[in-house]
Amino acid sequence: MGERRSLSKGITVTQAALPGLTLCNNAMLRRATRKLGQFYDDMLAPSGLKATQQGLLYQILIGDEPAMGAIAAALIMDLSALGHTLKPLIRDGYVETFADKDDRRVKRVRLTPQGLIKLDEAMKLWSLAQQRFEAMVGKDEAARLRAALDDIAALDFDMPPAAPSK
């Protein structure tokens, strides 16, 4: 009666008994991200920007010539990852960087005029995507979801499982 698969100390369970990945918070989050990402990317396609790039340009716009570290922190993104992601945007002339006047370690970022124009174009498409999405799930539900996601982003996972005590 049905395949058996071991799963932890010799225990064997019938396949039907294994819960889907629907139980993993992380897997579900990733899956939804892929799905929604495809939608936003499709909607933004006419601008030539990916949703991630549009989001990054916007983050740069609202920051006041933000330092890379500041952007990375705001997006909860690895600093080096940010650096990599920024390259295509610099290459395409949408963004430029410059050293901070007081601290030469700090590299600040700003949009170029073309970057501003491109972002402007992308924001209109983003707005449509946002509207279509919220029309489907409901504005309230969307807001609730964003709030929940913001809470997760704010969690503090510090200390290892076992508290070092004392």
Taken in order 31, 36, 41, 46, the sign of the CA dihedral is: positive
Stretch of residues binding a second copy (CB under 8 A), selected from 73-81, 89-97, 99-107: 73-81
Number of H helices, E strands in the chain: 6, 4
Choose which of 12, 30, 79, 98 interacts with a second copy (CB under 8 A).
Answer: 30
Stretch of residues binding DNA (CB under 7 A), selected from 6-14, 105-113, 117-125, 141-149: 105-113
Q: Does 70 bind a second copy (CB under 8 A)?
A: no
CB of 129 within 8 A of CB of 39?
yes
Choose which of 4, 5, 14, 38 interacts with DNA (CB under 7 A).
Answer: 38
Stretch of residues binding DNA (CB under 7 A), selected from 8-16, 69-77, 128-136, 140-148: 69-77
